[in-house]
Amino acid sequence: MTVAKSDSDIAQAIFTVNRHAKTAPDNHYLYALKKEALNLMIEKKRAAKIGLHFSKNPQKSQQQSSVLVKCGNYYFHMLPKKEDFSSLEHLGHLDDTYRNPPSRMNLKVAKEILRTLTGLEPQKKEAAVSNFTKTYQPRQLDRFYSPKKSYFD
């Protein structure tokens, strides 16, 4: 029997996963959890899209926008969809003075909350299988002796 989590617990879990994803060496699963959880919360009307912001570090373009989403007491950014540009108001640049409330949730707990909410499982990494098999070649017993009489033989 699963216990339904409150909006603030889920928002805190998303915040924790997002914070760890920024520095994780393999962050694809963490960002997928964040995206799926936010989309699910928006779909269930437990989170709301507020507007569009200019991105701080745009990729391959001079300007890029992201969607500002409010979930619980936390604000998140996610990539916009095509319809977001016509339906949401553009809020301009980010407000650098605002910070999300501090969070003290363990990453393992946060991932478990979002995993049960979304149903996403991490992909199992398969060990690299090499077609090349190394064979053992015993060394010559006397490396310095050669039956050749000269270099040119």
Structure confidence by residue, pLDDT tens digits, 45-57: 999 999 999 888 7
Task: Please compute the mean of the pLDDT values over residues 50-74 and round it to a whole number.
Answer: 86
Structure confidence by residue, pLDDT tens digits, 77-134: 999 999 999 999 999 888 888 888 998 999 999 999 999 999 988 887 776 666 777 7
Q: Strand 65-71 and strand 74-78: pairing? A: antiparallel
Q: Quick one: DSSP state of residue 99?
A: -
Q: Strand 65-71 and strand 47-54: pairing? A: antiparallel
pLDDT for res 140: 64
* pTM beyond cutoff 0.85: no
Q: CA–CA separation, 15 vs 13, rounded Å? A: 5
